[in-house]
Amino acid sequence: MTARRTGAASVAALLAVAFVTLGTDALLGIDAASDDVRRHEAEAAHFEAQRVRMIRESEASGRVAARVAAGDLTLVGAVDELEPVLRERPGFDCAWLEDPPPTFRHRVARCVLVRVAAELENEPGRRAVVLARLDADYAALP
């Protein structure tokens, strides 16, 4: 005589359904996680491209400021070089909100003045002479 264990069969069936459900949820969760990973990778690539662009812009601005400080480039020439680059920089229009320059070119010129002042920070005598010349050039900007 064999004993029937209907309760054990029911438990086994319920466990099987539970495992299938968990497995399905896990697979669907993996797909969603994969989508999240792809989206985050795309965002990371975008931010990395922005970071590299800003480093290059900063390096270019530094080289221009060094040439202006050395007297090899005029303020107008520096503005001509940097204006196209800075026009594309997000947030550049927001600089100097308390005392905004009259034009975008003046904004770029002020950026050059700040960079030159920083470049010559350790040379106060030369800094005063160069900034006096650049202040006059700034005042003469159209």
Q: Closest Cα partner for 108 from 95, 99, 97?
A: 95
| Torsion angle in degrees (nearest 10) through CA of 130, 88, 44, 42 | -160
pLDDT of residue 8: 65
The CA–CA distances, whole Å, from 33 to 13, 64, 90 equal: 30, 46, 31
Q: Closest Cα partner for 76 from 117, 113, 102, 101?
A: 113
Evaluate if residue 97 carries a pLDDT over 90. no
| Residues 9, 44: Cα–Cα separation, whole Å | 51
Percent above pLDDT 70 for the chain: 91
- Domain extent listing, the chain: 6-139
What pTM did the predictor assign? 0.67
pLDDT of residue 4: 61
**How far is residue 55 CA from its own chain's centroid?**
9
Evaluate if residue 28 carries a pLDDT over 80. no
Residue partners of 54: CB distance under 8 A and separation at least 6: 89
Residue 125, both tokens: 């005598």
Q: Closest Cα partner for 110 from 130, 89, 91, 134?
A: 134
Mean pLDDT of 44-60: 89
pLDDT of residue 40: 87
| Residues 94, 71: Cα–Cα separation, whole Å | 29
Q: Closest Cα partner for 74 from 117, 136, 8, 18?
A: 136
